[in-house]
Amino acid sequence: MMNVDKDKCIGCGLCVKDCFARDIEIVGGKAKINNVTCFKCGHCIAICPKNAVTTDEYNMEDVKNYNKEDFTVEAENLLNFIKFRRTIRHFKNKEVEVEKLSKIIEAGRFTQTGSNSQNVSYIVVRDGIEELKSMALESLKELGQNIISNLNPQTIGFKRYAEMWISMYEDYKTNENPKDNLFFNAPTIILVASDSQVNAALASSNMELMTNAVGLGTFFSGFFVRAAQGNKKIMDYLGLKEGQQIVTCMVIGYPDVKYLRTVPRKNPEICWK
């Protein structure tokens, strides 16, 4: 429930104006939140000039007052930061601190979600990486064999992936030191799960920025996401709820490679109307 401290409220109406759910009104010169159509977005908390709005739904210790020094990121620096990020496939043999992983997840937690559903969850895999890798490679091998056995004009484009998945599985099973083209010997994996692909993808994007900000690198393993789709063994192992799916697999560790500059990209396709 959202609450208004009547002693602090000055009835300015800013919360009423900014409430998308139209759940706030001014009664007797004070704001009144009806808590009927409210979906706890927190805009009223953020906009109140007297800090009169609170909620018992979430931890109010999360709330921080704005100050320019702590909250402003220069646009050019941010753009350069985004341009400089690279997908990392070479990791040091070094554990990632829990504090850094928590900060990465925090970046996901505070990412916007449709209707403030906050329906994104995170699975951190460290000790269970080898077990998860074994299940994923077996799943990819079966997918690859199925594609090879049923080639047609719609699946021919996946033939090279099918062959790669089968080869990865065979290498894993027969070699003492197989090449890891799934997790690249990284020490940590964060799986971002949700029943909304959009919400989980948005969270993952902010999480990647934080990963780079704390001095780590990441690789989004699309192979693992494909392996997990419809695989009950993997889903049960991860403890996913009904309707949830793995949207992204963030392979995380300390980079064992150093980049010196950004790279070019093709010009954007923009349609101005």
Residue 200 and residue 115 share a domain: yes
129 in a structural domain = yes
pLDDT tens, 208-242?
Answer: 999 999 999 999 999 999 999 999 999 999 999 88
Q: What is the predicted pLDDT for the residue at 153?
A: 87
Kindly state whether residue 89 falls inside one of the protein's structural domains: yes
What's the domain count of the chain?
2
Residues 176, 100, single domain; the answer is yes
Q: Considering the entire predicted model, what is its pTM?
A: 0.94
Is 229 found in the same domain as 143?
yes
**Same domain, yes or no: 273 and 185:** yes
Q: Would you say residue 70 lies in a domain?
A: no
Beta bridge partners of 219: 251
Which pLDDT score is estimated for 155?
85
Instruction: Mark whether 216 and 164 lie in a shared domain.
Output: yes
Share of the chain above pLDDT 90, in %: 96
Residues 90 and 225 reside in one and the same domain: yes
**Judgement on whether residues 31 and 154 belong to the same structural domain of the protein:** no
Average pLDDT over residues 182-187: 98
Distances (CA, A) of 75 to 68, 78, 203: 14, 5, 20
Structural domain range at position 40:
2-62
Mean pLDDT, the chain, as a whole number?
97
pLDDT at residue 86 tops 90: yes
Angle at 107 (CA atoms; ends 237, 4), nearest 5 degrees: 110
Q: How many residues does the chain have?
A: 273
DSSP-derived letter for residue 255 is B
Let me know whether 35 and 117 are in one domain: no
Q: Tell me, yes or no, whether 172 and 253 share the same domain.
A: yes
- Together in a domain, 158 and 263: yes
Q: What is the per-residue pLDDT across 233-265, written as a single tens digit (0 to 9) for each? A: 999 999 998 889 999 999 999 999 999 999 999
Q: Identify the CATH number of the domain in which residue 49 sits.
A: 3.30.70.20
**87 within a domain of the structure (yes/no):** yes
Classify residue 92: in a domain, yes or no: yes
**Same domain assignment for residues 89 and 37:** no
Would you say residue 195 lies in a domain? yes
Taking alpha carbons only, the member of 55, 45, 1 closest to residue 19 is 45
24/157 same-domain check:
no
> Does residue 10 lie in a domain region?
yes
Count of helices and strands (H, E) across the chain = 10, 8
Mean pLDDT of the 31-48 span: 97
Domain assignment of residue 72, yes or no: no
Supply the Cα-derived Rg of the chain in whole angstroms: 23
